[in-house]
């Protein structure tokens, strides 16, 4: 049993060093073709920003929109609605792990919104 554990846990996995297509200086004139500029212009434009943010550029962009909405209106309902609206629009831009997390958070936010409507908006407060 100990030999099996040592065999499993002491394996060395070699991972090749990868270079982003726009940083490959040996590609020459084929660099733009390797980046996919002839097939998807939007991906080519966003590629440096995706590289800078670690692949989460769209997540940061939607977070900025949600933050600006909260700063401008000072109501929590509007950022929740903006986040829910951006979910279907950014389905193909979000990575899968953030999409599943965003759907979960949208349902939780919608639940809080319904609870807020029933608990706070249906009572009459003085002053």
102-119 confidence digits (pLDDT tens): 777 778 878 888 888 888
The answer for 11, left when phi > 0, alpha when psi is -120 to 50, beta otherwise, is beta
User: What is the predicted pLDDT for the residue at 24?
Assistant: 74
Please state the domain extents for the chain. Answer: 1-52, 53-127
Share of the chain above pLDDT 70, in %: 71
User: Count of CB atoms within 10 A of residue 10's CB?
Assistant: 7
User: What is the predicted pLDDT for the residue at 7?
Assistant: 66
pTM: 0.49
Give me the mean pLDDT over the 2-7 stretch.
Answer: 67
User: What is the predicted pLDDT for the residue at 8?
Assistant: 66
DSSP category for residue 53: T
Q: Which two tokens stand for residue 92?
A: 């193909």
Residue 67 has pLDDT above 70, yes or no: yes
Q: Where are the alpha helices (DSSP H) in the chain?
A: 2-9, 31-34, 41-52, 57-73, 77-89, 96-119
Q: How far apart are CA 60 and CA 45, in angstroms?
A: 16
Band (75; pLDDT cuts 50, 70, 90):
confident
Q: How far apart are CA 101 and CA 107, in angstroms?
A: 10
80-91 confidence digits (pLDDT tens): 788 777 766 666
């Amino acid at each position: 049993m100990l030999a099996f554990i040592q065999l499993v846990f002491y394996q060395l996995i070699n991972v090749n060093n990868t270079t982003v297509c726009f940083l490959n200086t040996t590609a020459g004139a084929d660099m733009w073709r390797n980046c996919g500029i002839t097939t998807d212009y939007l991906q080519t434009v966003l590629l440096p920003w995706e590289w800078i943010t670690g692949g989460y550029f769209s997540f940061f962009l939607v977070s900025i929109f949600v933050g600006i909405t909260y700063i401008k209106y000072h109501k929590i309902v509007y950022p929740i609605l903006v986040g829910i609206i951006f979910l279907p629009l950014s389905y193909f831009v979000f990575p899968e792990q953030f999409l599943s997390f965003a759907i979960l958070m949208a349902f939780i936010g919608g639940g809080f919104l319904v609870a807020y409507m029933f608990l706070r908006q249906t009572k009459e407060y003085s002053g």
